[in-house]
Chain A
Amino acid sequence: MKKTLCLTLLLMGAAILLSIGISTGSSRAADGPKITIAYSSSVMGYLEPCG
């Protein structure tokens, strides 16, 4: 009985640790490096507005 309780607690602990690990991993992924693409097209020689 005692053995079973210990094993259950051990498994639960492992599950909690694993879940923390996964959640930390996801959070890191969401905060992963960012790049920004600044894009333009058909500027056609316009240095400044003309009108």
Chain B
Amino acid sequence: METGVQLGGLYKKSAYLNEYRKTQPGVVIVDSGDLLNEDEEIPESVRQAAKLKADLIARIYNKIGIDAVNIGELDLVLGLDTLKEIEKKHNFPFVCANLVNDKNEPIFKRYVIKNVNGKNVGIFGVIGDTSDMAAKVSEITNGAATVQDSEAAAGFIVKELAGKVDYMIALTHQGTNRDWVIARRVQGIDLVVGGHDKQKTKEPHGAEKTLIVNAGEKGQYLGMLEVTMDGTKASKNDLFPFGEDVASDPAIKAMITEYNDKIAEMYGGPSESRPAAANVALRLTACEPCHANQVKKWQSTAHALAYDTLVKKSKQFEPKCLVCHTTRFEQPEGFSMKAQEPELVNIQCETCHGFAKEHLSDMKPIPIADPAPASCIKCHTQDRCPNFEKEMPEKMKLIEHKN
């Protein structure tokens, strides 16, 4: 896939923080949730890989020196058991004050206190309590977890920690609108680190005496708020982008390589031996007898090389990438992690035109004869292809195949 500047990488985050701490040792590292997973549903064939990755991320974050991580609903998709196992196995600092079990007991720690440069920093988490979010959490956890009033939970903790901490951080996972409500109504919070709606704030919002910040998504940026711990608590904020010019931590890179190798082993060995274009009858050969010109045109496009680009980067077992580099990933009779069907690699006809089973067997109309541009944007997202929408007419010419 043609991309813009690619930002992100946990190895860059680690190297950057290691360097930063050499001159500024008083760093608190936090995350406001949806750390471990992106998908609202995890297919069974991907679940094992997803758990392995969550475990890896916890180990990487511990190595980086994470202090507190709030729970997001996408983390819960992995299963409460998995999160509790990670918490126990890695002493991982999950915090969430308003997520409770059937006895109304908090499932995770409500807060942690960290002493930094002689100052006590209190950090607590809350997850959104809107009816939508509450219903989602209940559904994801099969009723094992319930969301309580986030404002009340925040107020309770601020009261409990009054006089015990010098700086209070709320990690929220509820969207900016609700963040404003908590910041205005709960006196005593110095900083709200927001999440869920993937906002990015270069300049913090100021709600009374409380700052609200957001750091975007996918680990592309790291927010850095420097606070002078005098009476004013004056601060300076920066959103640091992890671009190509940022150094990498080789130890974290090695951990990720080891994970990639394990996943490859789990799903059938290195696929260099079965690259996309080599002697494999792709599924679109079924389309060729009637649509020969279209298939010929397709062969000259980047869509025909989508899987090879993953192989070159050793990412051919990464479900996140396979969604956009194979045909109908984890859909009925589509490419699956378990089977790794070589005939379904690349962006073939059915990716845009829909499942062709009935069209092929009974000559019923193809589900999507003229795909809408919205279907392109599912993969050509703003962060991957920042100019895609602007350049769409030109891009469409590259794959034009009506005749």
The interface of chain A, by Cβ under 8 A from chain B, is 29-30, 32-51
Contacts and interface: CB of A to CB of B under 8 A. Distances in A.
Contacts of B330: none
B346 to A, nearest CB: 16
B29 A38 contact: yes
B229 interface: yes
B154 interface: no
Contacts, number: 163
Contact of A41 (B10, B60, B217, B259): B217
B33 interface: yes
8 contacts: A35-B116, A35-B229, A38-B27, A39-B223, A45-B37, A45-B53, A47-B9, A51-B3
Interface stretch (B313-321, B352-360, B366-374, B392-400): B313-321
Given A43-B218, A44-B74, A33 B118 contact: yes
Interface of B: 1, 3, 6-11, 13, 17, 20, 24, 26-38, 50, 53-54, 56-57, 60, 72, 74, 116-119, 121, 167, 169, 173, 191, 193-196, 198, 213-232, 256, 259, 315, 318, 320-321, 384-385
Contact of A34 (B31, B56, B229): B229
* Shortest Cβ-Cβ A-B pairs, 10 listed: A41-B195, A49-B6, A44-B38, A51-B3, A32-B230, A41-B32, A42-B217, A33-B117, A29-B230, A51-B384
Given A29-B231, A47-B9, 19 more contacts: A34-B226, A35-B117, A35-B119, A36-B227, A37-B224, A38-B224, A39-B213, A40-B30, A41-B33, A41-B217, A42-B216, A44-B35, A44-B38, A45-B37, A45-B38, A45-B57, A45-B320, A46-B320, A49-B7
